[in-house]
């Protein structure tokens, strides 16, 4: 089963959830502000998406209001601490499939590729 991590009030997460429902992709949703992920999980996500910088939404209000010294963590431990304190900094949604593959973000086309939805599948789902 696919797990979608994000925030309940995030519009992009809502769109992703609706898309998964529309195409019949079994999934669970985890609000990572309510169910904090372990530092090891966060490090694993960062590794799969490229690095800590790729995991972070640097256009968010939360990021912009951080003091400058918090915006340049110098170690994995500092990144983990930052995300423990501010889980809303994680770019969303984070999508984890049964095979352990982690991706971030949502778009119709990226989800079609990710979940192998073909044009005939799309016509049947409307």
Catalytic center residues: 10
Separation of alpha carbons 112 and 94, rounded Å: 16
Write out the two tokens for 56: 């972070």
> By three-state DSSP, how is residue 123 classified?
helix
> By three-state DSSP, how is residue 90 classified?
strand
Secondary element (H or E) of residue 13: helix 11-22
């Amino acid at each position: 089963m696919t797990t979608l991590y994000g925030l309940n009030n995030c519009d992009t997460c809502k769109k992703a959830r609706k898309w998964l429902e529309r195409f019949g992709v079994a999934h669970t949703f985890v609000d990572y502000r309510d169910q904090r992920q372990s530092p090891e999980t966060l490090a694993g996500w960062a590794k799969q998406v490229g690095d800590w910088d790729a995991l972070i939404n640097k256009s968010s209000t939360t990021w912009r209001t951080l003091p400058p010294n918090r915006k340049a963590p110098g170690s994995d431990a500092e990144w983990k601490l930052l995300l423990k304190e501010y889980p809303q900094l994680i770019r969303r949604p984070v999508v984890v499939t049964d095979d352990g593959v982690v991706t971030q973000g949502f778009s119709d086309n990226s989800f079609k590729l990710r979940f192998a939805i073909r044009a005939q599948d799309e016509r049947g789902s409307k």
